[in-house]
Amino acid sequence: MESGIADAGLAVGAGGYSLLENNALSGVKVMVIDDSNTIRRSAEIFLLQAGCTVILAEDGFDALAKITDHLPELIFVDIMMPRLDGYQTCALIKKNARFHQTPVVMLSSKDGLFDRARGRMVGSDQYLTKPFTKESLLKAVATHVRTTV
């Protein structure tokens, strides 16, 4: 995945999340912004299995460079990143008229009220605590994007 983009195509294992069975998320474009390769790859695998198209970015600057080319329908962004943190990245995305309505889900290992409130203040639509499960990640996608193709 040198380009940072992965297309759907992985088989779904037995007992998968119900959204997988219906391919309800097939074709949904999701961007994952996280400086942790492990988190990016975990999210990528879960999303690919659900039929999503995945755009990966390792920090806010990388994401801002890719967002206009790929037009994601949903963005997951880690809070703690070098150079441009998740709050700054979310604020910049939400200030852009073209992406103002694009849902942004903050990812963090912190689960504090202050962090959640700060995320809301910069325009995030949801807060997901890491490590996330496949179910919680896909539920967030289903909540914020179209579920029929």
> In this predicted model, what pLDDT tens digit does every residue of 44-86 receive, in sequence order?
999 999 999 999 999 999 999 999 999 999 999 999 999 999 9
- CATH number, domain at 77? 3.40.50.2300
Cα distance between the two ends of the chain? 25
10 domain-assigned: no
- The structure's pTM equals 0.84
Given a cut of 70, whether residue 17 has pLDDT beyond it is no
- Show the domain range for 27: 22-141
Q: Tell me, yes or no, whether 26 lies in a domain.
A: yes
pLDDT in tens, 115-124: 889 999 999 9
Residue 137 lies in a domain: yes
pLDDT score for 11: 34
- The reply to whether 147 falls in a domain is no
Cα–Cα distance measured from residue 23 to residue 117, given in angstroms and rounded to the nearest whole number: 33
Q: Is 50 exposed, middle or buried (0-12, 13-18, 19+ CB in 10 A)?
A: buried
Distance CA 142, CA 67 (A): 20
Residue 5 inside a domain? The answer is no
Residue 47 lies in a domain: yes
Residue 15's pLDDT is what? 38
Instruction: Give me the number of domains the chain comprises.
Output: 1
* pLDDT score at 113: 86
- Residue 13, domain member (yes or no): no
